Amino acid sequence: MDKLRIVGGAPLRGTIAVGGAKNAALPLMTAALLTDETLTLANMPDVADITAMAGLLHLLGVHLNLQGDAGANDDTHVVDFTAKNIASTTAPYDLVRKMRASILVLGPLLARAGEARVSLPGGCAIGTRPVDLHLEALKKLGAEIDIESGYVLARAPKGLVGGDIVFPVVTVTGTENALMAACLAKGRTTIANAAREPEVTDLAQCLVKMGADIQGIGTDKLLIQGKPRLHGAKHSIVPDRIQAGTYLMAVGMAGGSIEVKGAKPPHLQAALDVLQACGMQFEPTIEGLRATCTGRLKAADVDTAPFPLFPTDLQAQFMALMTLADGTSHIAENIFENRFMHVQELIRLGADIAVKGHTARVCGVPKLTGAPVMATDLRASVSLVMAGLAAQGETTVSRIYHLDRGYERLEEKLARCGAHIERVRG
């Protein structure tokens, strides 16, 4: 298994480009199931989760045609998805187990083919993450749902019908599944307490290009007038705000100044506000945002919450940053109950962190020291890499297959900005 070896202490200088958002690309790819025409997606990210979703879609009968350089981080990396016929309506356990987002085929398959059989995802490192809200939403659209032998069996033999969905908690992929299904349901659907994440907005905008009628895009109340069919479209995937936020915070960790191309301030406002309060400086550039950090940061508190508030997907990275800050930071994780797996590993590097319930108290220390550490999930892995950039001596991060699920050539991008980091194949 590959590892990353990092020798800390080098400040970052240069430019890093972020590609399309994985969390936007995944639902957008499944939207191809809604039409027999071609959906062309540009700015496709080149990460393991996308390859896994492509494998699943292929199994369901989607024809994929790739053009350009995978991972070019621009509009030259284009993939055509054509679901002329649905060859299968089953998403098998082996694929869903590896990637929870496979549940995103449920709504589109049900809407287009009138049935879907999708394995229940099971547990994952950051918590139980059930899919009950997805199922309740689809029931509101007339689906009959049973659980059999670990699979969700969803049927709508006469087609879905519009309904009123009220999510009791904000769910990103739940909103996306309901939204996609509603586009082909008969009549009007409302989705209240909908997720407003930029990835949901990106999906909605693409669905409109495909002929869907959606009002309220970008708000927590979506109104969808179902259509009998959708057509093909071309869409460029929104840049990855979590990758952008990670690289901005890496500057806070290692010091220096970098331009992050593709960073969109409105998508990162909550994080930028906190980082500014900590002492980082930001300056908009033509293509993104420049982050600069000189000197030690001040501690600040963070509470994770749905967009537009501070994202849970940047919580681990922010915690890494706070390990070296001046003062004490309280970080509350309000989305996932078990998303502090990085804490023990950061402590191995010398961090002073105590967890009580869903809050971590991080007392800033003057220095971290390199050590072997182990990645446990996607965002935890990158927080360890960030800590390694600042730690004295050598840090090795193992199990980086987690990292490869969501970051494209992270080590190359950081090394080009002066970090001493390399992938050790194994």
The distance of closest approach from Cβ of residue 371 to ligand UD1 in the complex, given in angstroms and rounded to an integer, is: 27
CB of 237 closer than 8 Å to CB of 75: no
Using the rule CB under 6 A, is 131 a contact of ligand UD1? yes
Using the rule CB under 6 A, is 202 a contact of ligand UD1? no
Of the residues 3, 6, 12, 23, which one makes contact with ligand UD1 according to CB under 6 A: 23
Instruction: For residue 335, give the nearest of 189, 159, 176, 173 by alpha carbon.
Output: 173
Alpha-helix residue ranges (DSSP H) falling in 156-291:
172-183, 198-209, 241-254, 265-278
Of the residues 102, 173, 177, 190, which one makes contact with ligand UD1 according to CB under 6 A: 173
Only one residue has tokens 């006469």, namely: 158
The distance of closest approach from Cβ of residue 127 to ligand UD1 in the complex, given in angstroms and rounded to an integer, is: 6
Buried b (16+ CB within 10 A) or exposed e, 233-248: bebbbbbbbbbbbbbb
Using the rule CB under 6 A, is 29 a contact of ligand UD1? no
Write out the two tokens for 164. 């009123």
- Report how far residue 417's alpha carbon sits from residue 12's, in angstroms, rounded to the nearest whole number: 5
How far is C-alpha 8 from the chain's CA centre? 27
**Which DSSP letter does residue 126 get?**
T
- Among 124, 206, 278, 293, the one annotated catalytic: 124
Nearer to ligand UD1, 131 or 299 (CB): 131
Using the rule CB under 6 A, is 3 a contact of ligand UD1? no
Nearer to ligand UD1, 129 or 241 (CB): 129
Of the residues 51, 58, 123, 132, which one makes contact with ligand UD1 according to CB under 6 A: 132
- Report how far residue 197's alpha carbon sits from residue 22's, in angstroms, rounded to the nearest whole number: 13
Q: Is it true that the peptide bond before 308 is cis, omega within 30 degrees of 0?
A: yes
Of the residues 26, 41, 105, 320, which one makes contact with ligand UD1 according to CB under 6 A: 26
Residues contacting ligand UD1: total by CB under 6 A: 21
Residue 366 in 3-state DSSP? Answer: coil
The distance of closest approach from Cβ of residue 170 to ligand UD1 in the complex, given in angstroms and rounded to an integer, is: 6
Using the rule CB under 6 A, is 333 a contact of ligand UD1? no
Nearer to ligand UD1, 70 or 124 (CB): 124
The distance of closest approach from Cβ of residue 85 to ligand UD1 in the complex, given in angstroms and rounded to an integer, is: 26
Nearer to ligand UD1, 89 or 312 (CB): 312
Binders of ligand UD1 in range 109-128 (CB under 6 A): 127
Amino acid letter, residue 113: A
CA distance to 126, 250, 259, 328, per residue, from 244 (Å): 22, 10, 10, 25
CB of 233 closer than 8 Å to CB of 40: yes
Please count the helices (runs of H) and the strands (runs of E) in the chain.
Answer: 14, 24
Using the rule CB under 6 A, is 133 a contact of ligand UD1? yes
CB of 161 closer than 8 Å to CB of 187: yes
Using the rule CB under 6 A, is 198 a contact of ligand UD1? no
CB of 105 closer than 8 Å to CB of 34: no
Instruction: For residue 170, give the nearest of 196, 201, 204 by alpha carbon.
Output: 196
The distance of closest approach from Cβ of residue 68 to ligand UD1 in the complex, given in angstroms and rounded to an integer, is: 24
Using the rule CB under 6 A, is 313 a contact of ligand UD1? yes
Of the residues 77, 117, 129, 342, which one makes contact with ligand UD1 according to CB under 6 A: 129
The distance of closest approach from Cβ of residue 424 to ligand UD1 in the complex, given in angstroms and rounded to an integer, is: 27
The distance of closest approach from Cβ of residue 61 to ligand UD1 in the complex, given in angstroms and rounded to an integer, is: 22
Only one residue has tokens 């895009």, namely: 217
Active site (annotated) includes residue 124: yes
Write out the two tokens for 289. 């945002």
Binders of ligand UD1 in range 382-421 (CB under 6 A): none
Active site residues per annotation: 124
Interface with ligand UD1 by CB under 6 A: which residues?
A: 23, 26, 100-101, 127, 129-134, 169, 171-174, 199, 312-313, 335-336
